[in-house]
Amino acid sequence: MINLLHTFFSKSTFLMKDFVKSADVLKKIFYNLGISENLTKLYFIWEEVVGPKLAKKIQLCGVKKDVLLVTVETPAHHHYLKLHKKDWLEKINKMCSKESEVVYNDIKVIRL
């Protein structure tokens, strides 16, 4: 096994310039799917504001005018959203203010 790895790495050269940030890959995927740059940025901001663990439980799934649409995993997450909605909206609007003219006023839970 060690010989196999040694052979592989001696023949292959991995340069830092060959690697791409995962965020750049996701942006390109969103662009190819026709998702706007503002919405793409909003998905990254959402995870930063609510945190990566919670972003998996309370998922941003869309925007309708000035309302963020989310799904929640459990009623407890819905309650947590209600408690933190105001703070999250303030942070999101502050982070989006430079790029977007939209001010988000609400976060609504939808069923898929």
Higher-pLDDT residue of 99 and 32 is 32
In a domain, 2, yes or no: no
Count of domains forming the chain: 1
Contact 62, 69 (CB under 8 A): yes
Q: Is residue 11 part of a domain?
A: no
pLDDT score of 79: 97
Q: Which residues of 58-88 are buried (b: 16+ CB within 10 A; e: fewer)?
A: bbbeeeeeeebbbbbeeeebeebbeebeeeb
Per-residue pLDDT of 27-51, as tens digits, reads 777 677 766 677 778 888 999 999 9
* Nearest alpha-carbon partner for 46 in 36, 59, 65, 57: 59
105 in any annotated domain: yes
The answer to the question of residue 12 being in a domain is no
CATH of the domain at 49: 3.30.70
Band (pLDDT 50/70/90 cuts) for residue 72 is very high
Are 86 and 101 spatial neighbours (Cβ–Cβ below 8 Å)?
no
Region 50-64: mean pLDDT is 93
pLDDT, position 25: 77
- Domain range for residue 79? 20-109
